[in-house]
Chains A and B, each alone.
Chain A
Amino acid sequence: MNSLRARLLAATAVLLLAFIVLTGVALEAAVSERADQAERDRLQGLSYALLGSAEITADGGFRLAPRVLPESDLSRPDSGLYALVLDEDNEPVWRSPSLLGTIDLERWPEVGEWRFTRVERDDARLITLAFGFRWVTDAGKDYRYTLIVAENADSFAKQMQRFRGMLWTVLSVAALMLLLVELLILRWGLAPLRRLARNLVSLQSDEKRRIEGRYPDEIQPLVSNLNTMLSNDQARLTRYRNALGDLAHSLKTPMAILRGLAEDEQLPAAHRAPLRNQLARMNDILDYQLQKAAAAGKRSLAAPIAIAPAAEKLARALTKVYAEQGTRFDVDVPAGLRAPIDEGDLTELLGNLMDNAAKYGGGTVRVSARERDGDLALCVDDDGDGFGDGETERLLERGVRADASREGQGLGLAVAAEIVRSYTGEIELERNEDGGARVRALIPAA
């Protein structure tokens, strides 16, 4: 239940179901009561018609002798419509031709009382209306009778059944249609959100760091803010790096002058060496901290960067720098390979690793990159003597070693490790098949 559509749909479905059921039950009850009432009225009308044509014989017998019975069904045997008159002792005194046998009631009506009940008979269910009355003849004789008019309930039940079937069919169809409409409404209503989600995804596979398009008033502010954040994010990083660069520039130029002065022959040799060492130390600390600070690290919604161009650019640049040694830089990176890493970070990471490999290797540096389960695996190999045993821990150590005398492997690898860590990745130093050093960096996709 983790999608807006599912939630809305579930809520609507429950609500709709409750509404339909209640409506159905209420309608059924109302119609059923109305049908009962109509049946009772009909039976009562029939009773009146029968009573109207009744007479008492001279001997006090009750005689119903209409020339025509008010309903022809009363005269057809077992037609389903019956009438019965019982005397004081509940002995039948007259029965309509349609009735075979008798009708038993659980309770007999009082005089003047109409009793409307349903009765189970062996072969059928009857709806009965019983009326208790007293007949006083002109001769002053007083007779107590009960008139029962009954109709077979089957046809009534059948009618109700039909009605019920139709009622629930119509309601179910209506409910289904409403749900379908609701589905369409949700689709249409949530379409902007889906579009936003799509754009967010494409943002990560796209160079442009912007969400395009116009959105409904409810989410447009969110989109605008997101766009502002995305552009500020990049601008801030650039500003920050420039500031760090300026800081480096303003500190390192004086340091360069001091470094030059440290060569002055007039200074005692005992002073020159410590001066040089301290300057080198300051420089290492500065370099390490600045490079560490300039690392962008993992950022959300970052556009993935193509790996090959950055690696090839570095290879071209470093080929120039190592022209004297004739170092070869081989780049083995699939053309379309991209990873969500900041371009500056990627360049620093590869630059440090490739420079190290060129400095300490045997003349050939190989950069390879592969995608492994969505993660980026970078390898920089050289053909030197590889890392010494127990050296790897020290090289990856955070921070600069206090006695580091020159910019070297320690610093470059420490910076590289710092960058990889800022992407929650892993860096490993190994020996490759040819005995050379291999640095492997794994940058997770997300």
Chain B
Amino acid sequence: MRALVIEDDVDLREQVCNQLRAEGFAVDATGEGDEGLFYAREYPVDIAIIDLGLPGPTGLDIIREVREAGLDYPILILTARSRWQDKVEGLETGADDYVVKPFQPEELIARIQALVRRSRGWAQPRLESGDIVLDTARQEVFVGGETVELTAYEYRVLEHLMLHAGEVVSKTALTEHIYEENAERDSNVIEVFVRRLRAKLDPDGQRRPIETLRGRGYRLARNERSPAPANDAPQ
């Protein structure tokens, strides 16, 4: 999951970034409105966390530009202003939720995860595909009720595939969404992650949960129960 954090206070930004990374997000961050606007338009963002009280282009300006550019990823606003007028203005401009400062870190994370999930059409915090269950809230993966231990990157890959269950996800897309912008990338590593995931999720090679579509990418089977992707996407 790529998260974009635009917050001008360095300490708070660091704190939020660290919390997000701890939850398995790839995080890009900036304190500048202009830079934030560029990131917001150019990066493959899965969720943006934007402070409303930015200098330069304000948070509202960024949200407006993002929505005008036709980007529909979820946006969560951070605001110090508890007045409803400010919150309503942000939500009307195109944000999907707000968190008022000072916030409980768990609440921020919970809101972010819920937004990402819902943007992909998942109503529940538990993502399911076949007998694989991924609990986004607790970052736990079960196969047939048994816990499976995954590394951070393996988790990110599985989470992305599960959020996009039923869709073909290219290696490039996977790379983009699990790495931060300035991270060393190697798309071959994706193959390694997928191989390891397959080994952990399907040790005896019976069910083959992750399909490989040659030259196009990977696909995780979508359960009949799980909703069609993106039917609940904001905006």
Contacts and interface: CB of A to CB of B under 8 A. Distances in A.
B234 interface: yes
A49 B53 CA distance: 120
A259 B103 CA distance: 7
B84 A256 contact: no
Interface residues of B, number: 32
Given A317-B91, A323-B118, A347 B102 contact: no
A256 to B, nearest CB: 4
Interface stretch (B75-83, B169-177, B198-206, B215-223): B75-83
B151 interface: no
A252 B105 CA distance: 14
Contacts of A146: none
B12 A257 contact: yes
Nearest to A344: B85
A314 B88 CA distance: 6
Contacts of A352: 84
Nearest to A261: B15
Nearest to A406: B104
A90 B100 CA distance: 126
B80 A251 contact: yes
A324 interface: yes
Contact of A321 (B53, B92, B98): B98
A321 B80 contact: no
A321 B9 CA distance: 25
A58 to B, nearest CB: 131
A252 B101 contact: yes
Contact of A291 (B19, B82, B87, B91): B82
Nearest to B98: A321
A263 B105 contact: yes
Nearest to B15: A260
B34 interface: no
B102 A248 contact: no
B26 to A, nearest CB: 20
Contact of B9 (A253, A320, A343, A351): A253
B11 interface: yes
A367 B96 CA distance: 22
Contacts of A241: 83
Interface string A38-81: 00000000000000000000000000000000000000000000
A261 B19 CA distance: 11
Given A313-B88, A317-B91, A252 B83 contact: no
A312 to B, nearest CB: 11
Interface string A218-249: 00000000000000000000000100010011
A252 B102 contact: yes
A381 interface: no
A283 B102 contact: yes
Interface string A299-341: 0000000000000011011001101100000000000000000
Q: Which of B80, B84, B97 has the most CB of A within 10 A?
A: B84
B102 A348 contact: no
B102 A351 contact: no
Contacts of B103: 256, 259
A418 to B, nearest CB: 14
Contact of B84 (A245, A248, A348): A348
A245 B114 contact: no
A253 B12 contact: yes
Given A254-B9, A320-B97, A344-B85, 8 more contacts: A245-B83, A252-B80, A253-B80, A259-B104, A283-B102, A313-B92, A344-B83, A347-B88
18 contacts: A248-B82, A252-B101, A253-B9, A253-B12, A253-B101, A255-B101, A256-B12, A256-B15, A256-B103, A283-B102, A294-B83, A314-B84, A316-B92, A324-B114, A347-B88, A351-B87, A352-B84, A407-B100
Interface of A: 241, 245, 248-261, 263, 279, 283, 287, 290-291, 294, 313-314, 316-317, 320-321, 323-324, 343-344, 347-348, 350-352, 355, 407
Closest 7 CB pairs of A and B: A351-B84, A252-B80, A317-B91, A259-B102, A249-B80, A256-B102, A256-B101
Interface of B: 9, 11-12, 15-16, 19, 53, 78, 80-88, 91-92, 95-98, 100-105, 114, 118, 234
